[in-house]
């Protein structure tokens, strides 16, 4: 990767919550030519298929090797940087990781585009709202007493399911960079 693309990728990994989500939403919108959503309850609208689109992504980081304590706080914080924890797609069987795809309100959309930002590439998956219940480990309850807002994890134990059954595209950071370079 050249320096501009590496800096771009590192910046994506540094974004948190909503700002990171906007990057994923803009990526999916640009790749699949979706329109802005018609309501606040889903992310985009597919005018070709007439479907409401939800978009959920996560960065893939190697699991922490220990809980933070008073004795190891300095060491654990030093190890928490992108260079130490960001995981390549080729390492899915070599390291533990856990990505949480959450706040899934199945009644509010027709299709979910979800995925993983690895250090070297981006995996994009697709599933209908009805099929989400078939995802291994899917829970329709994200919080105690919360009905209708679910979540699922993607980790070293179930990544094969997603790659085999739901993968629609791999994208590298150069391709993503060029998608927005002259926007």
Q: What is each CA distance from 81 to 21, 64, 71, 146, in whole angstroms? A: 20, 11, 19, 34
Cβ atoms of 43 and 54 within 8 Å: the answer is yes
Q: pLDDT 10s per residue in the chain (183 long)?
A: 799 999 999 999 999 889 999 999 999 999 999 999 989 999 999 999 999 999 999 999 998 878 899 999 998 888 888 878 899 999 999 999 999 999 999 999 999 999 999 999 999 999 999 999 999 999 887 666 667 789 999 999 999 999 999 999 999 999 999 999 987
Give the structural domain span for 108. Answer: 3-180
Its pTM stands at 0.92
Name the 3-class secondary structure at 20.
Answer: helix
Task: Provide the terminal-to-terminal Cα distance of the chain, rounded to the nearest Å.
Answer: 21
Q: How many domains does the chain have?
A: 1
């Amino acid at each position: 990767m050249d320096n501009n693309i590496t800096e771009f990728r590192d910046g994506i990994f540094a974004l948190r919550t909503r700002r990171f989500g906007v990057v994923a939403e803009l990526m999916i919108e640009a790749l699949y030519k979706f329109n802005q959503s018609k309501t606040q309850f889903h992310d985009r609208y597919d005018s070709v298929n007439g479907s409401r689109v939800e978009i959920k992504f996560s960065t893939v980081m190697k699991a922490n090797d220990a809980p933070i304590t008073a004795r190891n706080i300095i060491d654990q914080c030093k190890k928490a940087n992108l260079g130490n924890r960001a995981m390549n797609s080729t390492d899915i069987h070599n390291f533990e990781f856990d990505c949480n795809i959450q706040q899934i309100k199945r009644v509010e959309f027709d299709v979910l585009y979800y995925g993983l930002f690895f250090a070297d590439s981006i995996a994009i998956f697709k599933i209908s709202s009805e099929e989400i219940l078939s995802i291994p480990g899917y829970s329709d309850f994200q919080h105690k007493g919360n009905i209708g807002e679910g979540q699922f994890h993607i980790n070293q134990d179930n990544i094969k399911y997603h790659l085999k059954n739901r993968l629609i595209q791999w994208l590298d950071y150069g391709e993503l960079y060029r998608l927005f370079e002259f926007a």
